[in-house]
Amino acid sequence: MKSLTEQMSTHPDSATALIFGSDAATYGELRAAVDVFAQTLLGERADLDEERIAMLLPSGRDYVVALLGIWRAGGVAVPLSTAAAAKELEYALRTARATRLIACEDTADKVAAACRSLGINILAVAAEARDADVALPSVSPERRAMMLFTSGTTSQPKGVVSSHRNIAAQITALIDAWRWTADDRIPLFLPLHHIHGIVNVLCCALWAGARVELIDGFDAGTLLRNVADRRYNVFMAVPTIYVKLIAAIEKLDDQQRETVCAGFGEMRLMVSGSAACPVSVHEQWRGLTGQTLLERYGMTEIGMALSNPYDADRRPGTVGQPLPGVEVILVDESGERIDGEGRPGEIWVRGENVFAEYWDNPDATAKEFTDGWFRTGDIAELDDGYYRILGRSSVDIIKSGGYKLSALEIESALLDNDAIAECAVVGMPDDTWGEAVHAAVVLANSAELSADELRSWCRARMSNYKVPKAIHFMDGLPRNAMGKVTKQAVKALL
């Protein structure tokens, strides 16, 4: 199987690869910049031999050059969130055992102290460019390529490691199923430390020889203007973004609304994923733009697994069928495979798309696999040949605006506050975020703390999107006969 950089070498030099601000880069320019950066990273070495190189970069040309340069030189890219708190970044750098970090002027300060204490060198993309003509290594598909941090049922995020083969399999499944071509033009406004933005948008577009417009963060106004100008024909977003776009479209005057909706209506493909898209949002979107969103299901560990069809019936409320090369089964609580329709079971996935391992965590890796199948923790049923996601096996995982958050991680951070005796974090249904983080908090004897004080205390310690949207002060938490806090009872109380 080809790697992304090998596939990119087949695209014409003059074709536009990236648009960023008022600038652009052709495939020829991008390839040259990637090779120079790979050489810079190598220095006198022949191969980075899976050295973990972290990236803390906003969306832009340098991000793409850094990611592909690390891959080209045989390293493991560890893209980090520019929205993360210093403490979270320090944890990721330490866990990945990163040795170098690529940053820019705006991001370097946040990690400077952590890098100093961990002995990590900070470098920039442009400043390090040089002309030395060093041969680049040949990197086998089995080698580790990327580590993405994912929150889950543990109080600390795990590093999900994918090989070049895994990533190529994730990309090619979508190239096939969604008919990517070199004529495609897509905006990329999603965060670049998760597979939705990295694999589904950036890597797929580069694989196809298409054009990606890099926009640093979602801004409805900018996007609607660009859509009115017909700059894109493919669009991928999380449900929260469609909710926000609907609200923004509704504020436009009649003429603007007509132009924008026609712009969306003319696109060849609009995809929703990373969280359940409510049927009402599907319907509103179709009502406004005439587009039937294609909903699909995926996960950091597996890329995309299930997708509604490109050119057959797309059914709101379902996530379609397995993608090419991806095997999916449903398994009941006793471990038996479910064959019929209408019976809920856990989604198990197998294929080259499935990740290699949790970094430095063989126990966690072993725990999530049975007979070569990755157990997702998501529950689904088959409904007339289409998979329907019913929920998750763990109440401690919250999906807010497409981000997967761990209730345990947020609780553990809250408990660092001396005023808090105990707490329980849960995800409550929310029209905009899908689920919103709520915290039930019991204060220590005689402690005083307002919700606003606690929220600003949180901001210094966690990514802003993890900060509880609501804080409920309580006298005690509901517990079962074993003395364990029952999250379902907490949710019922809230």
C-alpha span between 291 and 228 (Å, rounded): 15
Angle at 493 between CA 491 and CA 494, to 5 degrees: 65
Cβ atoms of 77 and 53 closer than 8 Å: yes
* Backbone dihedral angles phi then psi of residue 87, each to the nearest 5 degrees: -65, -40
403 binding ligand MLC? (CB under 6 A): yes
274 binds ligand MLC per the rule CB under 6 A: yes
> Quick one: what does residue 197 bind among ligand AMP, ligand MLC, none, with the CB cut-off 5 to 8 Å set by partner type?
ligand MLC
* Angstrom distance (rounded) from CA 43 to CA 451: 51
Q: What one-letter code names the amino acid at 148?
A: L
Phi–psi pair at 70, nearest 5 degrees: -60, -45
Please, which residues have CB within 8 angstroms of residue 137's CB and are 6 or more apart in sequence?
42, 46, 47, 48, 73, 74
Instruction: Using the minimum distance from each CB to ligand MLC, give the nearer residue, 41 or 89.
Output: 89
Q: Does 406 bind ligand MLC (CB under 6 A)?
A: no
* Shortest reach from residue 5's CB to ligand MLC, in Å: 23
List CB contacts of 290: < 8 A, sequence separation 6 or more: 261, 265
Minimum separation from the CB atom of position 455 to ligand MLC (A): 7
Binding interface with ligand AMP (CB under 6 A): 150, 273-276, 295, 297-300, 319, 376, 378, 389, 392, 399, 404
Identify the residue among 152, 316, 402, 468 touching ligand MLC (CB under 6 A).
Answer: 402
Quote the CA–CA distance of 440 and 493 in Å, as a whole number: 10
359 binds, among ligand MLC, ligand AMP, none (CB under 5 to 8 A by kind): none
Which residue minimizes CB distance to ligand MLC? 401
Among 27, 37, 149, 218, binds ligand MLC (CB under 6 A): 218
Select from 224-232, 293-301, 331-339, 352-360 the region that touches ligand MLC (CB under 6 A). Answer: 293-301
Residue 73, both tokens: 């030189």
Min dist CB 7 to ligand MLC, Å, is: 22
Beta bridge partners of 54: 78, 101
Output the smallest distance, CB 133 to ligand MLC, in A: 38
Q: Does 387 bind ligand MLC (CB under 6 A)?
A: no
d(CA 107, CA 115): 12
* CA separation, residue 27 to residues 10, 14, 183 (Å): 10, 6, 14
82 binds ligand MLC per the rule CB under 6 A: no
Q: Which of residues 236-265 bind ligand MLC (CB under 6 A)?
A: 238, 240-241, 244
Residues 307, 319: Cα–Cα separation, whole Å? 5
Which of ligand AMP, ligand MLC, none has residue 291 at its interface (CB below 5 to 8 Å by kind)? Answer: none
Q: How far is the CB of 318 from ligand AMP (least distance, A)?
A: 9
Instruction: Record the tokens describing residue 231, joined without a space.
Output: 């700059």
Q: Is 74 in the site for ligand MLC (CB under 6 A)?
A: no
Identify the H or E element spanning 158. strand 158-163
Where does this chain touch ligand MLC (CB under 6 A) — which range of 48-56, 294-302, 421-429, 471-479? 294-302
Number of residues that bind ligand MLC (CB under 6 A): 24
Q: Interface residues with ligand MLC (CB under 6 A)?
A: 190-191, 194-197, 217-218, 238, 240-241, 244, 273-274, 298-300, 400-403, 433, 464-465
